Amino acid sequence: MHPRAGTPALPEDLVDVDALTSAYYDREPDLDDPAQRVVFGTSGHRGSALDGAFNEAHIVAITAAIVEYRRSQGTDGPLFIGRDTHALSRPAFDSALEVLAAAGVEVHVDARDSWTPTPAVSHAILRHNGAGTSEGVRTHGPGLADGIVVTPSHNPPRDGGFKYNPPHGGPAGSDATGWIADRANEILRQGWRHVPRVTVEQALAADTTAKHDYLTSYVDDLVNVLDVEAIRASGVRIGADPLGGASVEYWGAIGERYGLDLTVVNPTVDPQWAFMTLDWDGKIRMDCSSPYAMASLVSRMTGHGDDAPFDIATGNDADSDRHGIVTPDGGLMNPNHYLAVAIRYLYGGARPGWPAGTAIGKTLVSSSLIDRVARDLDRRLLEVPVGFKWFVPGLVDGSVGFGGEESAGASFLRKDGTVWTTDKDGMLPALLASEILATTGKSPSQHHAELVDRFGESWYARVDAAATREQKATLAALSPDQVKATTLAGEEITARLVDAPGNDAPIGGLKVVTENAWFAARPSGTEDVYKIYAESFVSAEHLAQVQAEAKDVVSAALDA
């Protein structure tokens, strides 16, 4: 833990925006360095221009590859593009637009020339492709839309990010991202400056560039997915902190459109994020699930009793695909706790229009409290690998009502059981917290306390352990029989998983389960470590024992 975690940023913590922007245009990536090539993780290509990992060359090459990919798939409808508030997002947006216009792609940009949350881009793609209609969403064929979101999500201000969403509206699968990354690296090696481009002024004026009102389309449609009238009628006092991100204008519009008692806590947009408190490691990071990054909002809400300024306070990250929920009685909720509360509420009668067979979606590193809630509701649980892309098919066809992951990302269906977004929507679960309070008279924290009384208290944490590249590769390819341990923290091991139970997809690691605990180990895609997620329904001390023995179990499997 950094000694200044949770304290306000100081001048020495801030990125030099001019130097960052200059590096975007001036620095050429060294392709002999794997860290400077195009690599798509679970949320697109990310990196910093200062490290030679997110520069003009990368974006031109990736965009050119996307142009080729969408043509190969027969996707010839409009491409919806949005950007967040990171300093590198505007330059990357401009570079992409220059390539798209030169290629004759019909591009829809924000009508306000402003920031666009990730869920608003997903919503636009899906609406174009039939979401919320009797015909349903089409995901293949001519005339379909797809999209690009320029964002590194909650990453520090020095970073940039670039991700592709195909016609299903959600994060692209590995088949697409692998092809795009390989082709982009080929273009870099062959000479990215040969890619046809026009000036950004020409691109914006091109006949193929149209303006789309992302904000109005998204905000006006919220009535079909949330009980906004209940929120308005109850007078719930909402404090929404965009954390300097793309939702800043959306929150004010939501409050005005629906007559809510909603205050935008901090409307400041600053590419340095000088107003932030430092995260656990001393970095500025817009992680709305972190008590350190959310320290300012938490301090306004807790310790004041009935004098707290809001009944519900929320936070979002820079592209608004994550949510943080703060209550006067409970502070910042653990994301796992809120997911369980939201699931219990939605499936417990709040959405009668959802089909009876609609499943609950969770990633396999999310809390087992969700498993217990699902069993109590007698609902099918779809447990998938890490990555929101795994929820996309079920959200599109309505077979999954709610998809959530432990990193505070979630989305769920419209009231009528049709798809809302297939990418994470941080604003949606944030507003759901107010709906829960408005319709039940209890805060999400109080609902979680009731779940603990019914299903038991759990302790959950994630830690990192050192690993070489070779060890990480071995971990990603483990088989269950390589795990020789029979017990974990005093309990018999009941399952050794390398494939997700919900869809049999490889998890890229290992999950070990006992009656009252589990751990999952996955290699990091960017650092020489592997991540250990663990949970115990016994005690904090038992969790520590699970974590310690997890390292031994993994080490033995790697050495086998």
Q: What CATH number should be reported for the domain holding residue 488?
A: 3.30.310.50
| Active-site residue, 153 included | yes
Asked if pLDDT for residue 537 goes beyond 80, the answer is yes
How much is the pLDDT for 134?
66
The domain boundary, picked from 217, 237, 264, lies at 217
Q: Is 177 helix (H, G, I), strand (E, B) or coil?
A: helix
How much is the pLDDT for 168?
96
Largest Cα separation within the chain, whole Å, is 68
Catalytic pick among 122, 153, 368, 411:
153
How much is the pLDDT for 526?
62
User: Residue type at 239?
Assistant: G
Residue 293: inside a domain: no
Q: What is the DSSP string of 390-452?
A: GGHHHHHHTSEEEEEETTTEEEE--TTSS-S-SS--SHHHHHHHHHHHHHHSS-HHHHHHHHH
Q: How many helices (H) and strands (E) does the chain have?
A: 17, 23
Give per-residue pLDDT as tens, 156-172: 999 999 999 999 999 99
The domain boundary, picked from 200, 217, 234, lies at 217
How many alpha carbons fall within 13 Å on the CB side of residue 312?
Answer: 29
Number of domains within the chain? 2
What CATH number corresponds to the domain at position 127?
3.40.120.10
How much is the pLDDT for 320?
98
**Across 384-391, average pLDDT:** 95
How much is the pLDDT for 465?
83
The domain boundary, picked from 189, 217, 245, lies at 217
How much is the pLDDT for 468?
86
Residue 539: inside a domain: yes
What whole-number percentage of the chain has pLDDT above 90? 88
Q: How far apart are CA 411 and CA 449, in angstroms?
A: 23
535: β partners:
460, 518
**Across 300-320, average pLDDT:** 92
Residue 365: inside a domain: no
Give per-residue pLDDT as tens, 486-534: 999 999 999 999 999 999 999 999 999 999 999 999 987 666 788 999 9
Outline where 165-213 has alpha helix (H).
174-191, 200-205
Tally the residues of the chain. 560
Of the pLDDT bands very low, low, confident and very high (cuts 50, 70, 90), residue 152 is very high
Q: What pTM was estimated for this model as a whole? A: 0.95
Q: Is 381 helix (H, G, I), strand (E, B) or coil?
A: strand
DSSP assignment letter at 38: -
Give per-residue pLDDT as tens, 229-253: 999 999 999 999 999 999 999 999 9
**Across 444-463, average pLDDT:** 95
Domain containing residue 506: 459-559
Give per-residue pLDDT as tens, 182-220: 999 999 999 999 999 999 999 999 999 999 999 999 999
Residue 79: inside a domain: yes
